[in-house]
Amino acid sequence: MAWNEEAQIRCRFACICPQLWNRLEPTEKDDVRHCSPCNRDVYLASSEADVRRHSEQGHCIAVPVAGADGEADPEEPCWLVGKTMPPYGTK
């Protein structure tokens, strides 16, 4: 499970990708990057609504997470990349 205290995002991942958001190929949209090994787009999810929307569409997402000390570093943001467990938000 990923959790970001500041953004208040909580989600469960079916799989976590070893790729790093900042190393994915940029696209024309600031909140979308392309993963060449998977040949899939990865969508930045900065809110619970983003996670829900992208989960429903089967997208891979990147979610901001706090560092090991619980603090997010604005100079070096950490993004967990993966695919959520469908359907998001149900038991």
> pTM (2 decimals)?
0.76
Tokens of 56: 């429903």
pLDDT at 91 over 70: no
Residue ranges covered by each domain of the chain? 2-83
DSSP for residue 7:
T
Q: Please give the residue that has the higher pLDDT: either 71 or 20.
A: 20
pLDDT at 24 over 50: yes
pLDDT at 18 over 80: yes
Whether the Cβ atoms of residue 24 and residue 34 lie closer than 8 Å to each other? yes
pLDDT at residue 73 in the model: 52
How many Cβ atoms are within 10 Å of 76's Cβ, its own excluded?
A: 8
Task: List, for residues 26-83, the tens digit of each pLDDT value.
Answer: 999 999 999 999 999 999 998 888 998 998 999 999 988 765 555 555 555 688 899 9
DSSP characters for 31-86? TEEEETTTTEEEEE--SHHHHHHHHHTT-EEEEEE--TTS---TTS-EEEEEEEPS
